[in-house]
Structure 1
Amino acid sequence: MGVPDADGQGPPDGLPGLPPEWGRVVVPDDASALADEARQVRRELRRDPRPAPRPGPVRIGLPALALLVSVLVTLAGLAAVTWPRSNRSGAPTVLPRTTATPLAVGPLPALDLVGGDDTPVPLRSLLPAMIILVDACTCADQVGTAAAAAPAGVTVVTVTEGRSAGPATVPGVRPLGDPAGGLRSYLHLVAHPGTAAALLVDRQGTLVRLVPELGPATDYRDDLVRLGG
């Protein structure tokens, strides 16, 4: 069935020279005659799988490394900005429930509030004062506690946003109105329903303490006493 070369042993015409140690090579006329040999080769290949290549070390390119360093520097800067620090700048002290934006530092603006008879009342004429914002809650019990804790010389007022001063619900406390909502606007202070916020302001008109949610007098008594000193 095979086709030998011209001398009966070498390769047929058109085939390259083969090593002599291979012996006589016979090329069958029908390729199906090699089916058994093909199956044997496939079995040997299945029994000798090549090992999977090992993953090499991960290499980070220069652009990726620069991006990683930038992210780390940014995170470090954010941590430094938001890390709590002691209050040494004279900014007002804030008790629980702070506002979402920073509070104004320094003297309060020269606002005019409105009395019960619609007459203007300059804010600075009330100082030193504890100003309680009651437009979100009358909170009569807390206002009464603050009035009882206030030393002589410290004015306690309640302020309602709008032209109406509101009724006098606590003896010794002066109700006033804030027509333009100037106090809350200046302090970026949002009204929370059911709570009253309080501002402790010294004789120079500087906000020394903000109490976003008025509670027990022990929270602010020391600062309130210092206002009258």
Structure 2
Amino acid sequence: MSGQLGDDDGGRRSPDPDGLPGLPPEWGRIVIPDDAAELDHEAAKVRRELRREALLHRHGLRPGRRMHHLMLPLVLLTMAVLVATTSLFAALFPQGRRGGGTPSSKATAVQTGAPLPDLTLATAAGRSVALRGVHPAVVLVLRHCACRSLIDGTAKAAGSQVRVLVVGATAPPTLPALPAGSRVTAVRDHGGELTEAVAAGQHRTKLTDRTATALLVDQHGAVIATVATTVDPTDFAERVPALAG
């Protein structure tokens, strides 16, 4: 399959319907193949002619007019490489992420009074956990932090009535020994969507490494409070039992 340069240029017609504007008319209509490999024969011809011209020049002989005949193959090769490179980049980066740090349309910013983002997380065993299906709950979003005392203290405050979801950035966190009857689940934030959503909801608070964000979720699934940066369960522990209603 071949594409004709000049037939369509991003939805705009070329000013010269018979080829590239500004090129000698004796070259005729230029057709650029989609596959640069189709020009292997022309490329071999160009290499032979270039070697011949270089040999003549080395021996002080006048090259003559052969170079003029090489211009069309050279133009075709150059444009074929450009078309192939552009197509490759378009395939690898079809849209790209824009506005760095902005969560995807699925991971909307975490806001007090609103439900959690509609995300699916995964346990170490590969079991899916629907974030909005976990309530009442305390969701601990860890940032490069083992936060064992935070997890332990949250589990004690939650008891058996409130679930605790511990979210790691790249893998489900390793849980410490937990109190009997506690309901603690470790999951992975696939793609960092929940981390982005938490950051997007904290416009005036800098989230630091080696800490966590605690989201307090009531029995109806609404976020009633956010502790943006914490390593100490006493920052919110007294509010946890009330989440069960």
TM-score (norm 1): 0.50
TM-score (norm 2): 0.47
Higher helix residue share? 2
